[in-house]
Amino acid sequence: MAEDAAAVVKERLAGLCRRRRLDLSGLPIGVITAPSLRLDCGRDQRRLEATVGRHAPRLLLLDPFVRLHRINENDAGEVSALLGYLRDLQRRHDLAVAVVHHTRKNGAGSSGGGQSLRGSGDFFAWVDTALSLRRQRQQLLLSIEHRAWHSPPPVTLTLAGSETDHAHLAVVATAPMGEVERGAGAATDIDAAVLRALANAPGGTLARAALRAALGVRNQRLGAALARLVATGAIKRSGEVWVPAPPAPAPIPVP
């Protein structure tokens, strides 16, 4: 919790527990209280891994990402290296890693979900599940995007309670399933159109502007499709152009 003092974090956790009639002292929750943590620094990476190895948590929450590094978030190479460390940590210690990240100022009110994340597109390509919050008047809309499964309906939330009653988020409504099904179908259609355009292009490569012109879609929709296809390994970026990813090598038969 890189933006809040330890006392504030403890009071917030205590309020959540009181709301749910739980005893905070009896829960396996730990807070990292180091004065600074830089995930791009080899020394801090080793310290974090030692802490994870010692406590064996099921979930590691890093909030917010921008306060936990000194890299250029628009540099895909730097972002990829840092996220690669987190992926390795997650796999070797069998834990979930939740990273809180901000959206771009000019994308905060859009419906782009994970595509509106600030910085390199590698952020959205890295996640297994993206939970995106955006404000609509006095309410919040929670969108959920999965790498390997259909997205559920968006959920409308509101801040309920008071300072004395421990304010909390409450569910107001869920979008009709029909809207979600139409959205999922549209996503499938544009993904397939991108693959067809690349397959028919000379040399099998197209720049983003050429793809957008060929498909006649908004830049935001195209960006979401490219991120999904990269995440599934169907395409990859090569310099300024997009190309189909080479197929995985066939397994060698064992006699």
CB-based contact 112:187 (threshold 8 Å): no
Give mean pLDDT, residues 207-217.
81
In this prediction, residues 118-125 reach a mean pLDDT of: 86
Identify the band that residue 248 occupies on the pLDDT scale cut at 50, 70 and 90. low
Does 16 map to a domain? Answer: no
Q: Give the residue numbers spanning the domain of 228.
A: 176-247
Residue 173 predicted with pLDDT over 90? no
Q: Which run of H or of E encompasses 223? A: helix 219-231
Who has greater pLDDT, 76 or 110? 76
How many domains, the chain? 1
In a domain, 145, yes or no: no
Domain presence at residue 214: yes
Half-sphere exposure of residue 247, counting CA atoms within 13 Å on the CB side? 3
Does residue 229 lie within any of the structural domains?
yes
**Least confident interval from 44-48, 94-98, 219-223:** 219-223
pLDDT tens readout for residues 35-79: 889 999 999 999 999 999 999 999 999 999 999 999 999 999 999
Taking only the tens place, the pLDDT of each residue in 16-34 is 888 888 999 999 999 998 8
Report yes or no on 202 lying in a domain. Answer: yes
43 vs 113, more confident? 43
Sign of the alpha-carbon dihedral angle for 108, 111, 117, 120: negative
Phi first, then psi, for residue 151 (nearest 5°) are: -80, 135
pLDDT above 90 as % of the chain = 31
Has residue 255 got a pLDDT over 70? no
Q: What is the pLDDT of residues 145-159, one digit of tens each?
A: 888 877 778 888 887
Note the pLDDT of residue 194.
Answer: 87
| CATH code for the domain in which residue 195 is found | 1.10.10.10
Task: Please indicate, yes or no, if residue 222 is contained in any of the structural domains.
Answer: yes
* 15 found inside a domain: no
**CB contact set of 224 (below 8 Å; sequence gap of 6+):** 112, 113, 114, 115, 187
* 198: in domain: yes
Residues whose CB is less than 8 angstroms from the CB of residue 230 and which lie 6 or more positions away in sequence, other chains included: 121, 125, 236, 237
